[in-house]
Amino acid sequence: DSGVTQTPKHLITATGQRVTLRCSPRSGDLSVYWYQQSLDQGLQFLIHYYNGEERAKGNILERFSAQQFPDLHSELNLSSLELGDSALYFCASSVGLYNEQFFGPGTRLTVL
Amino acid sequence: AQTVTQSQPEMSVQEAETVTLSCTYDTSESDYYLFWYKQPPSRQMILVIRQEAYKQQNATENRFSVNFQKAAKSFSLKISDSQLGDAAMYFCAYRRAQGGSEKLVFGKGMKLTVNP
């Protein structure tokens, strides 16, 4: 157990819908990273927050957004869902900016 | 942009034998970190081993060791005395050491099968 929690574990929804994925980092960790794992794209970095501020963006679609709250948990919002958004979404956390990243168990999103 | 390449999509090894997983990367940075992550069927991403580019000594963690060739931009993982629990997807990953984004850049992964 890495200490990073993600909810829900599984999510099944329909095209056009909106969902929110939640991540609680390890106690004391200020950085939260979101990654997407899909069959065709592999593991890709989406976005990084550090102590509430957006630090870096990767190949994140405009339909996706994220935020990190004062208690340091983070949410990834996916809207106008398409079939191709079906993937495993990982959250990872680290103490600072250049420390080891610990991964959560992931949220499996299925868009039907 | 940094890229990580794992050219072998699948490998198999007999239990108790040794297997080497290959990885190459491309970067213009001189200081960075390299990682091997394991993803078993549970889908959890587990850090196996890490290597700092400034260190010449190859990292070792119990049965896992790396062969880091900085000039060749090669980073292979050797698993000794393979066990059934080693069966998983293995991902090679790169991260800058400082400045810019601290994101991990992953290879496509390699599926390792361990035969009893």
**Tens digit of pLDDT for each residue in B49-106?**
999 999 889 999 999 999 999 999 999 999 999 999 999 999 999 998 876 668 999 9
Smallest Cα distance from A76 to chain B, Å: 17
Residue among A64, A70, A51 nearest A18 (CA):
A64
Structure-model confidence comparison of residues A39 and A73, the more confident one: A73
B2 vs A29, B24, B41, B56, CA distance in Å?
Answer: 26, 11, 28, 21
**pLDDT exceeds 90 at position A96:** no
A16 pLDDT band (50/70/90 cuts)?
very high
Unique residue bearing structure tokens 């040794």 = B18
Which residues in B lie closer than 8 A to residue A94 (C-beta atoms)? 102
Please report the pLDDT score of residue A41 as a whole number: 84
Please report the pLDDT score of residue B100 as a whole number: 63
Which residues in A lie closer than 8 A to residue B44 (C-beta atoms)? 2, 103, 105-106
Please report the pLDDT score of residue A80 as a whole number: 97
Q: What is the Cα–Cα distance from A45 to B45, expressed in whole angstroms?
A: 14
Q: Which two tokens stand for residue B104?
A: 């991990």
**Tens digit of pLDDT for each residue in A40-87?**
889 999 999 999 999 999 989 999 999 999 999 999 999 999 999 999
